[in-house]
Amino acid sequence: MGVLKKLAAAAGLLAAAGVGETLYFYNRTMKRGNAKTERTTKMSGTDWEKYFPLMEERKGYVLAQSHRDVYLTSFDGLKLHATYFPGTAPFPKKAVICFHGYTGEGLSNHIAIADYFLKRGYAMLMPDARAHGGSEGEYIGFGCLDRKDALAWINWMIGECGEHVNILLHGTSMGGATVLMTSGLELPANVKGIVSDCGFTSPREVFTHVLNHMYHLPAFPAIQGADLLNRKLAGYGMDECNAKYEVRKAKVPILFIHGSADTFVPCSMCHEIYDNCASPKRRLIIEGAAHAESYYKDMAAYEKALTEFAEEVMDTENGEADGDLESRNMREGSV
């Protein structure tokens, strides 16, 4: 009996440790207020300080353009916030919706690339993801819930700009996963193209990678426990929506961008999602770029790829349908 009691006590300690590890991981990762930008920045491994002067320079121009706060109510009753730049035309022909990354905010995270889009005549919408910025919510959606919010913002943009507007979706990191997961939904015909910058497959897979390769910890039981908690508290499983499966249903052309030196969301995830993508696709790998650094690391290559992609998918005046893209430059293409 003494041995059995000791084994039972040890099992109890292990179970308690597992519960403690799960709660610690979940509260730090999935809940608003506990998920810290500083921690995310450190884990990403990107040296952002060297890009601050560029961001400040572009911030002046961007904020001088006409813009306003806009709101909508999500499918589950949250008040969501975005910043909207209408551009110069009363009814713009082209618009972009930009989705930010984990612990970020719409406007602040897109200051640099907003310069690119606004100077090219786009109307621009920059939502704050649920549980971020000016949007309500306690639990982070990690693309799984955010894709439903993205669809609501797409419909908002059509209502604002008119039924003939052509829309490009752009997302970085969690935002990249969001737009890839959105690709599997029935989208309005106005959505002409999707750009995913360092998007991941699913929260379960990216957190498993972080625990295994950055913290050298096993994913069990933290991930499994967090999955159970998240189903109960946030309403979705951590592998319930996986970008590599959603793109198998995609009909809209997709441009994949990733940094070869990304240790936070490994570049292998980009290749895996790309290989599963059913729609016309292109891929740009920026050599030496860390997480979410691709635009800054090689701005010329990034903007060239964006411009070429947008010219193809957003051009509806030359009589060429989106379905013809695969017979052009986008057949299993890399740029």
Q: How far apart are CA 247 and CA 254, in angstroms?
A: 9
Residues making up the chain, counted from first to last: 335
Burial label for 33, CB within 10 Å (0-12, 13-18, 19+), is exposed
Instruction: State yes or no: pLDDT of 320 exceeds 50.
Output: no
Instruction: State yes or no: pLDDT of 20 exceeds 90.
Output: no
**Confidence category of residue 9, pLDDT binned at 50, 70, 90:** very low
**Confidence category of residue 215, pLDDT binned at 50, 70, 90:** low
DSSP string, 54-82: HHHHHHHHHHHS--EEEEEE-TTS-EEEE
Instruction: State yes or no: pLDDT of 16 exceeds 60.
Output: no
Instruction: State yes or no: pLDDT of 152 exceeds 50.
Output: yes
